[in-house]
Amino acid sequence: MDGTLRALAVAVIALAIGSLWTPDWIVFLATIIIAKGLVVLGLMVLWRTGLVSFGQALYYGIGAYAVGMAQLAFGLRDAFLLVAFGTVLAAAIAVLLGFLLARYRDIFFAMLSLAFSMILYGTLVKSATLCSTDCFAVLPPRFAGMAAGGTLAKNGLFWLTLAAATIAVYGVHRYLASPLGALTTAIRDNEIRVEYLGYSVERAIHIKYVIAAALAGAGGAIVALAVGHIDPDSTYWTTSGEFVFVTILSGAGSALAPFVGSAIFEALRAYATAYAPYSWQMILGVFLLLLILFLPQGVWSLFQRRVRRAAP
Amino acid sequence: MQRGAEMIAWAGAGLVLAAVTTMAAAPAAAQTASPVQIGLVTFLSGPAAGPFGVPARNAAELVIDAINKGELPAPYDNKGLAGAPIDSFFVDEAGPVTKVVQDFRDMVERRGVAAVVGYVSSGSCLGIAPVAEELKKLTVFFDCGTPRIFEDASYHYVFRASSTATIDSIGAARYVLKEFPGIKSYAGLNQNYAWGQDSWGDFDATMQALKPGLEVKTKQFPKLFAGQYSAEISELLAARADVIHSSFYDGDLESFILQAAPRGLMEQSKLVLTTGETIMYRFGAKLPDGVVLGARGPYGPFAHPGPLADWFRKAFTDRYKTPPTYPSYQMANALLGLKSAYDKAGKAKPSPTQDEVIAAFEHLKFQGVGSEINMALGKGHQAITEIAYGKYKFDEKTGEPTLTDIVYYPASCVNPPEGVKSSDWIKSGMTGAKCE
Amino acid sequence: MTALLAVHHLNKAFGSVVAAKDITVTVGDGEVVGMIGANGAGKTTFVNMVTGYLKPNSGTIEFLGRDVTQLPPRAIVAAGIARSFQIPQIFGSASVADNLLIALGIAEGGRLPLWRALRSRERLATVERVLDHFGILAYRDQAAGLLPQGVRKLLDIAMATLRAPRLLLLDEPTSGISVEEKFAIMDTIMGALRAARCAVMFVEHDMDIIGRYASRVLAFAEGTIIAEGAPAAVIADPKVQRYVTGVPEAMRRAAAAP
Amino acid sequence: MLTAVTILVDGLVYSSWLFIVAVGLTLIFGVMKILNVAHGGFYSMGAYTAAWAIGLYFNAGWPPAGSYLLIAAAAGIAGTLLGLALERGLLRYVYHRDPIIIVLITYAVFLILENLVLQIWGVDAYLAYQPDTALGTTRIAGLRFSNYELLLIPLAAAIGGGLWWGLNRTRTGKILRAVIHDREMSLACGIDVSRLYTVTFVIGAVLGALGGAVTAPMISVTPGIGVEVIVIAFAVVVVSGLGSIPGTIVGALIVGLSRAAAVHLWPEVELFVIYAVMSAVLIVRPQGLFGRAPLRRI
């Protein structure tokens, strides 16, 4: 069992138990951080392939709306089922769009995914049935049939989020170590060679795209349950931009990096907006700039003692 | 890598422990009865800061100072909330609902405020209301307009001291039909999100209910903050509607007027701006005479004179060098409502508990800045006020923006009775509306 | 000898430029065929068409009796044709070993298991063996992007051989390599390939290398094959001397003398 | 008929505006292969500088005619300063980085510029309507159109023509085209690419600022106008195929006309018609209208 997985185990246990004595607002914040970390984890998989999606909010939003609509349509209340539904729906749509997007690279990939997310945004804002920009409330979830109350209400969703994150990190970690996972950086390096080794670059990218979408869907669903409210902003391009921001901030060093990055980002923004309401944008900008200039591998590289052999 | 990963893990664990320890301090903060700590939330950045956030923040500063000093005119001339001074701070509302909810939890659970007053956007209000209920924290909305808050649900801890946006649309429709009885058609220009869509929906429904058969020429829904409306204006010019309804505000409203006025749109059609009052002081002569302006209630130029209203207008203008607009009034009234509730509960016994304050707040009638506020709807949690409209007139001699043909519609004329949804009430032809 | 590759009447034009004109070639199992010709004679175009990078305008390409004319590169690779590149196509940011690991991972069955880790003891062993065959074991842990040209070439070819192809096309394996090294490198390559026991077609400008390694030579000019046969015969062919080598017999001999 | 005419006029006006706003982006991408998000910052800086200067100018009671020069001057100054500072001070140190990373660097700069605007000019809106109203209106098909807005059409044409002339008739322009065509080769020919980059970036920045400055009189200049513009400009540039100036003209026309058509015929879709067009174009032509698919030499 390697370091990442050991670290994962330690962190998960510490957080799961620690959360029992932690005030709600921290548990809530942690839930949001980890949920958004899931989205970033997906973007990281794409980024290792050299692809950046400026439209990942599409799947984040789909995950969120899936929760709301499943509650309205079939009165689904179980948190686990709702998150699963959001994940599957996002993945399913990614399978379809993937056939198209897998043919695109760099800026065209970024802009086409952005266009798709903005079209969803437009339809959502327009749709009276989904109450346009403001009325979509999400009912508090149930856990394994139990109506949420007491500790379960406080920590249930957090534990669910931890579980989801654990599965995701373990999965992505194993995936990156697998032959197909190795194709992430390989494709960024040289697509022609991949084709001439006999593997379809499009297929590889399609798979990564679906993985990223599923993770984004899960993140969106969890955030929707935690916040208890859905609005189209979750599909607007600035939301996607934020996720890309955190991806760069985190670095692609490890499947754990996105969660560290996400925590740093939320903390940074919380303080920036609270104590410098007129200049938080600038603070974020400067931070991002310094990061790119002086920490090209993301904050994760701070934690890496051994310099990886082939620095990208 | 390995070691690094473990460092993270321990860091994570450490974070949790740190959190636990910080929590030890937090409740202590919550216990302290006096002073009363209030979190104030409004837009301090982004496009909504200029027209709403900053005027509201200024009003809050002004009123809270006056309350603590006991400088307000009667009936508010006693110091503090039930004697306890107010200790307040501001939080920026800008950002997605997720962030707004995060900040709310932070205020309530970490900083342990006694009450939260604020929120401009209906999205924020709908997002916050359930959370306030979950955290059992007295929360007073001041500006957000959507009627859904108390019509789709009922809350124990949430109050709104200003009327719903429904009265803007109903009032506008009544005023239009009274002032321009001959009209055959109307059109709409509203921002493409809930605010614009609902405003148009209510206006349209009221017009059809009051005078069936009027023709709708066109309904335009440009993107929020689009800034460029030449195409929409062409369409409106071509449509030649007798009346144009718009719930535009702020930059969008200003841009629209700048682009529409020279093209003679206002000469051809009567323009009705439900929130137009916010710009009349900025625009002066640039706003064509005869445009119908509203202020979302009896605020600003529509405020009924009286010691309180006169003090507010003067003190505000002296302190901030610009007259207060309706968001200022709404914020002031939210705070006055809170004070009335505290004082009322305080009469029974000093330093009342939150539940006592809430009990006192429900169904409360109190003197607001500009008019009386009546917490009549939503089981006593939703205020109803009258609404007023007037025609803009720029006084060449004094260089003062003024209003003519002002008409007031009493609360009972523009608000549905308790238990009836605004939309249903409008469709039913507003049965039982008492307009005299 | 059974025909491994059978190319019939291949034509390719880029706009008005004719890159391949009625090319017909057959290659037998285990043959080593050299391809010569001036730049722009159509050698690389031919290689690109056989390996699916370019689609011919007309004509057919059969491999082991199967028509592969319209297949995409990966399908052709799967069928058993591999190639190397004039400009080595390698994964610059990965180490030499990882380059081969990835190649190996793909080579082991087209569809990749999601969960089995790529870095297994067996695979590493295989990789080291291959590196050893190509004499670049010393570079195992270096970033491929920083390798000297000769090593890149070898790595590029090594990756191509991992799928045990029946036919391997080498596009100028010795270009950009100093005269001193050329023979050494070709020896390594041919040694490794003989071990892999597969037919080879290689593009080369150096007649001495052709003379030394090719069992048969195709001479290209203006997109078509002007001469074909044993090296000595083809090189002696006056047409070839006019269009390709451009050197009189005597001088060539002198140059060839050790 | 009436609708057709108005769609045409509105569409042309909006297309011209789009072109003016987007062409700087195209130029910078064409030469430097940088997708410059900070363009939105140039736009708002230009808009605020112009609005502020115009305000002062008319308070001084000078004749309107001068205010048009003022718009150009504001754009020129703001653009040159920003462009120089950004290219010399930051970008030239990161040209070697992954293009996507450079996009993010410019995104960071954009955030900073947006905030700078807030710091300098505050949250209140600025009005600079005089240059617009001073020109009056013209009747077309019975509808009054603002002359100022109509003038955007010749202005866009002038900018396009100017760029064409600059690229095809001047020495620098020819060198630039060489760089656009083949960077390595031009480097090999000993062209001082670094100087060219500075020049190009400054021109691009000035065009961005000009977009804002020209828009200022038509709108109420408020915080956050840059955010809205940048995505639209991107859409146009991507549709046009990245870095092709004729492409940008066509792209602007397609996007502009389809938006105008939507407003008049199908207002519901106005919100996302631009993105619908963009995806449609990219699906049909993955490289954009005038983009060339790169065939890698092997």
Q: pLDDT of A230-269, one tens digit each?
A: 888 888 888 998 899 899 888 887 899 999 999 999 888 8
Residue B9 has pLDDT above 60, yes or no: no
pLDDT tens by residue, D75-100: 999 999 999 999 999 998 888 887 87
Which of A5, A187, A193 should we substitute to test contact with C (largest number of C Cβ atoms within 10 Å)? A193
Inter-chain contact B230–D14, Cβ cutoff 8 Å? Answer: yes
Residue A270 lies in a domain: no
Contact call for A and C: 3+ CB–CB distances under 8 Å: yes
- Res B3: pLDDT: 47
For C65, the token pair is 């009796």
User: CB contact, 8 Å: A289 with chain D?
Assistant: yes
Residue A108 lies in a domain: yes
- Write A124-127 long-range contacts (CB < 8 A, 24+): A124/A61, A124/A65, A124/A232, A124/A235, A125/A232, A125/B192, A125/B193, A125/D271, A126/B192, A126/D268, A126/D271
What is the rounded average pLDDT of the residues D209-236? 89
User: What is the tally of structural domains in chain A?
Assistant: 1
D204 in Cβ contact with D25 (< 8 Å): yes
How deeply is D125 buried, as exposed, middle or buried, from its count of CB atoms within 10 A (0-12, 13-18, 19+)?
buried
Distance of CA A154 to the CA centre of its chain: 23
Residue B360 has pLDDT above 90, yes or no: yes
Residue D145 lies in a domain: yes
A15-24, A295-304, B114-123, B340-349: the lowest-pLDDT one: A295-304
What distance in Å separates the CA atoms of residue B108 and residue B128, rounded to the nearest whole number?
Answer: 12
Q: Is the dihedral of CA C103, C105, C109, C110 positive or negative?
A: negative
Residue A296 lies in a domain: no
CA distance D289 to chain A (A): 12
Contact call for B and C: 3+ CB–CB distances under 8 Å: no
pLDDT tens by residue, D24-69: 999 998 888 888 999 999 999 999 999 999 999 998 888 888 899 9
Residue C25 has pLDDT above 50, yes or no: yes
Residue A102 lies in a domain: yes
CA distance A285 to chain B (A): 16
Inter-chain contact B23–A26, Cβ cutoff 8 Å? Answer: yes
For A260, the token pair is 């560290």
Q: Which residues of B195-214 are buried (b: 16+ CB within 10 A; e: fewer)?
A: bbbbbbbbbbbbbbbbeeeb
Residues of D in contact with A289 (CB under 8 A): 90, 105, 108-109, 112
Residue B16 has pLDDT above 70, yes or no: no
Range from A216-220, B235-239, B265-269, B318-322 that averages highest in pLDDT: A216-220
Gap between the terminal Cα atoms of chain A: 26
Residue B131 has pLDDT above 60, yes or no: yes
For B425, the token pair is 């009430």
Residue A128 lies in a domain: yes
- Res B293: pLDDT: 95
Residue A66 has pLDDT above 50, yes or no: yes
How deeply is A272 buried, as exposed, middle or buried, from its count of CB atoms within 10 A (0-12, 13-18, 19+)?
middle
The DSSP string of D106-167 is: HHHHHHHHHHHHHHHH-SS-EE--HHHHHT-EEEETTEEEEHHHHTHHHHHHHHHHHHHHHH
- CATH 3.40.50.2300 is right for the domain spanning B32-164+304-384: yes
Same fold, B32-164+304-384 and B166-295+386-427: yes
What distance in Å separates the CA atoms of residue B231 and residue B214, rounded to the nearest whole number?
Answer: 25
C97 in Cβ contact with C124 (< 8 Å): yes
User: CB contact, 8 Å: D71 with chain A?
Assistant: no
What distance in Å separates the CA atoms of residue B371 and residue B304, rounded to the nearest whole number?
Answer: 6
SS3 A212: helix
B226 in Cβ contact with D197 (< 8 Å): no
Residue C110 has pLDDT above 70, yes or no: no
pLDDT tens by residue, B53-109: 999 999 999 999 999 999 899 889 888 898 899 999 998 888 888 888 888 988 898
Residue of C nearest to D298 (CA): C87
Residue C38 has pLDDT above 80, yes or no: yes
Q: Is the dihedral of CA B41, B47, B52, B56 positive or negative?
A: positive
Task: Note which residues in 378-417 of chain B have CB less than 8 A from chain D.
Answer: none
- Res C247: pLDDT: 59
For residue C61, list its beta bridge partners: C7
Of A104, A114, A123, the CB nearest to D286: A104
SS3 D297: coil
Superfamily of domain B166-295+386-427: Response regulator (3.40.50.2300)
Residues of D in contact with C89 (CB under 8 A): 298
Of A103, A237, A286, the CB nearest to D112: A286
pLDDT tens by residue, D244-288: 888 899 999 999 999 999 888 887 777 788 888 988 998 888 888
For residues D172 and C90, the model is more confident at: C90
Residue A151 has pLDDT above 90, yes or no: no
Give the domain extent around A50. Answer: 3-235
ipTM of this complex prediction, to 2 decimal places: 0.85
Q: What is the CATH number of the domain that holds D138?
A: 1.10.3470
The neighbour count for residue B30, using CB atoms within 10 Å, is: 14
Residue D84 lies in a domain: yes
Range from A105-114, B94-103, B383-392 that averages highest in pLDDT: B383-392
Inter-chain contact A309–C116, Cβ cutoff 8 Å? Answer: no
- Mean of pLDDT over chain B: 88
Please report which confidence band the pLDDT of residue A198 belongs to, taking 50, 70 and 90 as the band edges.
confident
Residues of B in contact with A284 (CB under 8 A): none
Residue of A nearest to C155 (CA): A193
How deeply is D95 buried, as exposed, middle or buried, from its count of CB atoms within 10 A (0-12, 13-18, 19+)?
middle
Please report which confidence band the pLDDT of residue A147 belongs to, taking 50, 70 and 90 as the band edges.
low
Please report which confidence band the pLDDT of residue C91 belongs to, taking 50, 70 and 90 as the band edges.
very high
pTM > 0.95: no
Element (H, E) at B360: helix B354-361
- Res B23: pLDDT: 43
Inter-chain contact D146–B263, Cβ cutoff 8 Å? Answer: yes
Residue A145 has pLDDT above 70, yes or no: no
What distance in Å separates the CA atoms of residue B379 and residue B360, rounded to the nearest whole number?
Answer: 13
Residues of A in contact with B192 (CB under 8 A): 125-126
- Res B298: pLDDT: 92
- Res C248: pLDDT: 56
Residue C257 has pLDDT above 80, yes or no: no
Residue B380 has pLDDT above 90, yes or no: yes
- Res B156: pLDDT: 94
User: CB contact, 8 Å: B237 with chain D?
Assistant: yes
What distance in Å separates the CA atoms of residue C108 and residue C102, rounded to the nearest whole number?
Answer: 10
User: CB contact, 8 Å: A28 with chain D?
Assistant: no
- Res B31: pLDDT: 40
For B393, the token pair is 């007139």
Inter-chain contact A289–D109, Cβ cutoff 8 Å? Answer: yes
- Please name the CATH architecture into which domain C3-95+165-256 falls: 3-Layer(aba) Sandwich (3.40)
Give the domain extent around D52. Answer: 2-284
For residues B103 and A275, the model is more confident at: B103
User: CB contact, 8 Å: A311 with chain C?
Assistant: yes
Residue of C nearest to A312 (CA): C93
The DSSP string of D242-282 is: SS-HHHHHHHHHHHHHHHHHHHHH-GGGTTTHHHHHHHHHH
B to D CB pairs, distance under 8 Å: 132
Residue A243 lies in a domain: no
Enumerate the domain spans of chain C.
3-95+165-256
Residue B144 has pLDDT above 70, yes or no: yes
Chain C positions with Cβ closer than 8 Å to A:
51, 72-74, 77-78, 82-83, 85, 89-95, 98, 101-103, 105-108, 110, 112-119, 141, 143-145, 159-160, 162-163
Inter-chain contact D283–A296, Cβ cutoff 8 Å? Answer: no
Enumerate the domain spans of chain B.
32-164+304-384, 166-295+386-427
- Res A282: pLDDT: 86
Residue B2 has pLDDT above 50, yes or no: no
Residue D173 has pLDDT above 90, yes or no: no
Residue D205 lies in a domain: yes
Element (H, E) at C191: helix C179-196
- Res A248: pLDDT: 86
CA distance B422 to chain A (A): 15
pLDDT tens by residue, C172-222: 888 878 888 888 888 888 888 887 778 999 998 888 888 889 999 999 988
Residue C9 backbone phi and psi in degrees, to 5: 50, 55
Of C78, C93, C114, the CB nearest to A175: C114
User: CB contact, 8 Å: D295 with chain C?
Assistant: no
CA distance A200 to chain B (A): 31
Task: Note which residues in 132-171 of chain C have CB less than 8 A from chain D.
Answer: 171
Residues in chain B: 436
What is the rounded average pLDDT of the residues A62-66? 93
For residues B19 and D64, the model is more confident at: D64
User: What is the tally of structural domains in chain D?
Assistant: 1
pLDDT tens by residue, B413-423: 999 998 899 98
